Amino acid sequence: MTREELKAAAVSMLDRAYIPYSHFPVGAALECSDGTVFTGCNIENAAYSPTLCAERVAVAKAVSEGHKDFVRIVVAGRCEDFCVPCAVCRQVLYEFAPDMEIISLNGKGEELSRTLRELLPHGFGPEYLLKEE
């Protein structure tokens, strides 16, 4: 999938977002190393904490289908600034691909590209967990 197609896939998810409280739609398109793409949108909940971000929806769809090798994700919003993953989403993405590319879009379709390590320089990974000896 081309970069432009991946961006369009993320933007297409904005209209599917369930956002009755924040009115802040977010769409995501996650590309796996084999070219498979999984999309997501944010899904809010009246209790707030069960709310799912678009990025985590895309990751859950990918992992549930057996994909864990991610290369890049586009995160699209309709705001003036670039739509970047929240801290929780950064950590979830770090679990699978600490070196992946994060492409953030604003409401004008302009992009800002960074690596996940730039956004989360000291992420918590499996290497921090105790290993059985």
Which residues are part of the catalytic machinery?
A: 55
DSSP state of 132: P
Interacting residues of 39 by C-beta distance below 8 A, sequence separation 6+: 9, 10, 12, 13, 27, 28, 29, 30, 58, 61
CB 68 within 8 A of CB 83: no
As a whole number of angstroms, the distance between CA 54 and CA 44 comes to 10
What residues form DSSP beta bridges with 70? 32
Number of other residues whose CB lies within 10 A of the CB of residue 4: 8
